[in-house]
Structures are given as structure tokens and as C-alpha cells.
Amino acid sequence: MRQMRMTDELRSLGRSGVAEAEAADDLATLDAVRVAYLGKKGSLTAVLRGLGSLPSEERPEVGRVANEVRAELESAIDARRAELAAKALEERVAAEAVDVTLPGRRRPAGHVHLIDQVVREIVDIFVGLGYRVASGPEVELDWYNFTALNTPPDHPARSLQDTFYVKDLSGDRAAVAGESDVVLRTHTSPVQVRVMESAKPPIYIVAPGRCYRRDIPDPSHTPQFNQIEGLVVDEGITFGDLKGTLEHFVREMFGADRRTRIRPHFFGFTEPSAEVDVSCGICGGHGCRFCKGTGWLEILGCGMVDPNVFGYAGVDAERYTGFAFGMGAERIAALRHDIPDLRVFLESDVRFLRQF
Ligand code: PHE
């Protein structure tokens, strides 16, 4: 009777344990079930502990059933654990899945800014004629930017209105008229002097670079812009060489159908000096709004190197002659692509830049 009760109790305990294990929704709950039945203070453990107080003839049968129930419960728990682990793995795989068949996300590839494209094109034309590329600092000494270019201290270009002065940290006292003698270069022409100081003729160079002037931005002025300087120093260089070189450049840059014209002009560092115009590409030279009715568009300044500049730069003016020119990259880009406002080059609006 007692034996009956014990084994029934064990079996019913086993059934409820198996049911609870099968119903466990996660590993923590399942472990709690294991502890509740099979742990040190578990209900099945308590029954097994009570075996000792049974009469000896009942013990084997009750012990057999108890072991059977424990084995069943353990295997139910193990099976459920495996199920839950498989489910967890499945969920993780689903959550972390990468669909390798999806097309890749394309990052928009940038490209060279229109101004740099134009600078490279211009430089390439002169490299094709055998010129080398030179460069100089954007933060320049007053000496190279003005004085050595035959532009004396009282020249208006040196005024605070026209030039950005930089605080002179060199500690030297050679400031001009009490001002700093360090400037943001106003043109690339100081590279002429630096090259002549450091190289012996024959010199054939182009020098692209950024320049700065205190201009209020408007359609045809920006306080920062790019120039390409050219310098040739050799024996027997004439104004004819300058003219032929620039005509070749214009044809390469703007096309064979464009005409050029050279007008007298003044620059302190060239003598004689000139400006070069190219015939308007929009009206073909008849006159329109783009060329302000003249049929011509100014593209550069040039001239024969002034012997005074040779003197400052240490070149023998008796033996050598030379020419120089300087052009604005923004201006040339604008003329090339009929862009009416130079400010767009500095605005980084990709809707504009993407077109080139
Ligand atoms: N540096 C001049 C300017 O910025 C251009 C120039 C260069 C003129 C070389 C003559 C010779 O306007």
C-alpha cells in the first residue's frame, strides 16, 4: 500500500516535471524546472532521500521507479534544452542574415573640380611645348610679390584695400611703411623671381596656384582665385615668340576657329606689356551680352620681362631676354563653358560641379 503510494507519487511527480520541462520557453525557465525537481532541494531528490526510511523489502522497487522517473525527467530536460538552443540559433541566424544576392550600395564617385581640370589642361598644353612646372608659396614676402617685380612701395596694388597682409612672425624689422611684409600673394608672378633666383637660363616654366585679393565677390571677382604663370628666359627671345606661343595656346584651349588679338597694356614687371583677347565663342565675334558687345574676351596679361626684374632676380639682362604671361583659371573656365558668374566655382554646389 505504502509502496503503491510512493511509486504513484514518483510517477506523477515525473509527469508534471516532464510537462513543465516541455513547456519551458527559454533556457532560464528550463533550468529552474531542473533545480525544482532534481536540485539538492528538489522534490524528486527529497523523495529519493526518503528511501532510507522505507522497509527494506520496498526499497528496490521504489528505488527502481525513482531512477526511472529521474532518467525520464533528465532526458526530457536535455531534449528541451537542445530544442531551445536550436531555436535560439535559428533566431540569431535569421536576425544576422546578410542577403548576398542584394545589389551593392554604390557610393557616388567624385571627380576633379572644373577649375583643377582647366588648370591641368592649360599646364598640359605648355608641358607639350617642353615647359616644366614650378610652384611657390601662397603666403609670400612683399619682396617677391611686389618689389622684385618692379612694383615700388608707393604702388596702389600694395594698399590694404587690395592685398591681404599676414602677421609677420619672422621678427624682422623690414616691414614696408610700418606694415607687415608678408602677404597672401596677389598673383603667381612672384614665382618668376623665385625660379630665376634658383635656376639658370634657359628657363621654360608654368606655375599654377592660388592667389588672393581683397575683392568683394561679384560675378567677375572672387577674393580667392587660380592663376597660371608662364615664364621663358633664353637667348634671343622676342615678342614674336610670345605671340606665337600664346596663339598656339588659344587654339589648343579654345579651338581653331577662335581668333586672338593683342592689345597694349601696362604691368610693372614687363615691358612692353599686353593683354590678350580671344574672340567671343557665343556670338562668334559679332558682339553680344557675354562679350559686352565687343566681340572679344580678355584672357591674360603678358609682356617681355622687364630688365629691372632680371636685375632683382640676378639674371644677366645683357645676355638674356624673356617673356612672361599670367592667366586666371576661373576666367578661362568661364569662357570655355559660358559660365556668367565666377562665384559658382567656390560654392561647392554639386548640382553645378557634376556637370563638368
Ligand atoms: N600678374 C599679372 C596679373 O595678375 C599677370 C601677368 C603675368 C602680366 C605675367 C604680365 C606677365 O594681372
pLDDT on residue 6: 80
pLDDT on residue 115: 95
pLDDT on residue 274: 98
CA distance readout (Å), 188 to 10, 58, 135, 231, 297: 101, 112, 9, 11, 21
Phi first, then psi, for residue 80 (nearest 5°) are: -65, -35
Q: What is the CATH code of the structural domain delimited by 114-353? A: 3.30.930.10
CA 288 – ligand 1 centroid, Å: 27
Residues of the chain with pLDDT under 50: none
The span from the CA of 345 to the CA of 107, in Å, is 24
Give pairs for 81-89: CB < 8 Å, separation 24+. Answer: 81/27, 81/30, 84/24, 84/25, 84/26, 84/27, 84/30, 85/27, 88/27
Ligand 1 proximity of 189 Cβ (cutoff 6 Å): yes
Are β-strands 270-279 and 182-184 bridged in parallel, bridged antiparallel, or unpaired? unpaired
Nearest atom of ligand 1 to the alpha carbon of 187? 4
Question: What DSSP letter does each residue of 101-152 carry, written as one string?
Answer: TSPPPPPPP----HHHHHHHHHHHHHHTTT-EE----SEEEHHHHTGGGT--
pLDDT on residue 2: 61
CA distance readout (Å), 109 to 102, 117, 157, 354: 20, 16, 42, 10
Question: What DSSP letter does each residue of 291-311 carry, written as one string?
Answer: TTTSSEEEEEEEEEEPHHHHH
Write the pLDDT tens digit of every residue in 102-156. 998 888 888 999 999 999 999 999 999 999 999 999 999 999 999 999 998 888 8
> Domain limits of the chain?
2-95, 114-353
pLDDT on residue 1: 52
The span from the CA of 234 to the CA of 98, in Å, is 68
Ligand 1 proximity of 324 Cβ (cutoff 6 Å): yes
Q: How many residues does the chain have?
A: 356
Which mutation among 267, 270, 302, 325 tests ligand 1's pocket best, with the greatest number of atoms within 8 A of CB?
A: 267
Ligand 1 proximity of 185 Cβ (cutoff 6 Å): no
CA 42 – ligand 1 centroid, Å: 99
C-alpha torsion angle, residues 252, 256, 259, 261 (rounded to 10): 30
Name the residue at shortest CA distance from atom 7 of ligand 1.
Answer: 326
The span from the CA of 249 to the CA of 222, in Å, is 25
The span from the CA of 247 to the CA of 253, in Å, is 10
Ligand 1 proximity of 302 Cβ (cutoff 6 Å): yes
CA 170 – ligand 1 centroid, Å: 28
pLDDT on residue 205: 98
Write the pLDDT tens digit of every residue in 154-182. 888 788 778 898 887 776 665 555 568 89
pLDDT on residue 184: 95
